[in-house]
Amino acid sequence: TQLLEQSPQFLSIQEGENLTVYCNSSSVFSSLQWYRQEPGEGPVLLVTVVTGGEVKKLKRLTFQFGDARKDSSLHITAAQPGDTGLYLCAGANYGQNFVFGPGTRLSVLP
């Protein structure tokens, strides 16, 4: 059974701070996605990474896929209150269903 772990589970920081959240597995994935979910809404896709070692940037968010395609990180620079939410990672392999991590709940205080 493929499992994804995320750390930390909860993170509360002040506006302007930097942070990194992690998504780890013992399994290899062909692609990995990061989502942000706000209360009362569905998860919204932030990025998909497919190549080992790949780095993608989305404004102040930097995503990295591990070389072995088993792990990923999300780094936020100068966090803002609008970054508050639940961050989910999900791994995918062709022909198999998606595997979701439990999420990291981020709170950015003004």
* Residue ranges that bind another protein, judged by CB under 8 A: 30-31, 33, 35, 40-45, 48, 50, 88, 90, 92-98, 100-103
Kindly state the smallest distance separating residue 95's Cβ from another protein, in Å. Answer: 7
Nearer to another protein, 51 or 77 (CB): 51
Q: Using alpha carbons only, how large is the chain's radius of gyration in Å?
A: 13
Own/partner pairs for 41-48, CB < 8 Å, 24+ apart? Answer: 43/86, 43/88, 46/74
Kindly state the smallest distance separating residue 65's Cβ from another protein, in Å. Answer: 13
Q: What is the largest CA-CA distance in the chain?
A: 44
Nearer to another protein, 18 or 30 (CB): 30
Kindly state the smallest distance separating residue 13's Cβ from another protein, in Å. Answer: 22
Nearer to another protein, 79 or 106 (CB): 106
Q: How far is CA 38 from CA 67, 88, 92, 104, in A?
A: 30, 11, 23, 12
